[in-house]
A and B are shown apart, each in its own frame.
Chain A
Amino acid sequence: MQLTRAGFLALLWLFVLAALRVVRSDLYAASGLRVAVPGFRRSSEKKVRGKAPRQLVVTHGALQGTRITLDGRPIMMGRADDSTLVLDDDYASTRHARLSLRGTDWYVEDLGSTNGTYLDRAKVTQPLRVPLGVPIRIGKTVIELRS
Chain B
Amino acid sequence: MASPAQGAVGSPAVGQGAAAESTTPTRRGTELWLLGFAAALVTGALMLVEANQEQTLTFRIVWYGLAFLALFGVAHVAVRRFAPYADPLILPCVAVLNGLGLVIIYRIDLALSERAIQAGREFNNDVPKQILWTTVALALLLAVLILIKDHRTLTKYSYTFGLAGLVLLALPAVLPGFIAPTINGAKIWLRVGPFSIQPGEFSKVLLLVFFAAFLVSKRDLFMAAGRRVLGIDLPRARDLGPVLFAWAMSLGVLVFQKDLGTSLLFYGTILVMLYVATERGVWVGIGVTLFVGGAFVAYKLFTHVQQRVANWFDPLATYNDIGGGYQIAQALFGLGTGGVGGTGLGAGRPDLVPLANTDFIVAAIGEELGFIGLAALLLIYAVLALRGMRSALAVRDTFGKLLGGGLSFLLIMQVFVVVGGVTKLIPMTGITAPFLSYGGSSLLANYILVALLLRISDAARRPQSGSRPRPVPQAPIAEAHTVMVERPS
Contacts and interface: CB of A to CB of B under 8 A. Distances in A.
A133 interface: no
Contacts of A69: 481, 483
Interface string B10-46: 0000000001101110010010001001101100110
A48 interface: yes
B486 interface: yes
B466 A23 contact: no
A101 interface: yes
Contacts of A33: 394, 464, 470
Given A72-B472, A73-B472, A13 B372 contact: yes
- Secondary structure at the A interface, as helix, strand, loop or mixed, is mixed
A6 interface: yes
A9 B51 contact: no
Size category of the A interface is 35 or more
Contact of B22 (A8, A48, A84): A48
Given A6-B341, A47-B4, A65 B488 contact: yes
Contact of A75 (B377, B380, B480): B480
A43 interface: yes
A22 B4 contact: no
Given A19-B89, A32-B394, A47-B22, A76 B376 contact: no
B370 A9 contact: yes
Contacts of B373: 8-9, 12
Interface of B: 1-4, 19-20, 22-24, 27, 30, 34, 37-38, 40-41, 44-45, 48, 51-52, 88-89, 92-93, 96, 341-345, 347, 369-370, 372-373, 376-377, 379-380, 383, 386-387, 390-391, 393-395, 460-461, 464, 466, 469-470, 472-475, 477-478, 480-488
Given A1-B344, A9-B376, A68-B482, 15 more contacts: A8-B45, A9-B370, A9-B373, A12-B376, A13-B372, A15-B34, A19-B92, A19-B383, A22-B89, A26-B2, A33-B464, A44-B4, A71-B481, A76-B477, A100-B472
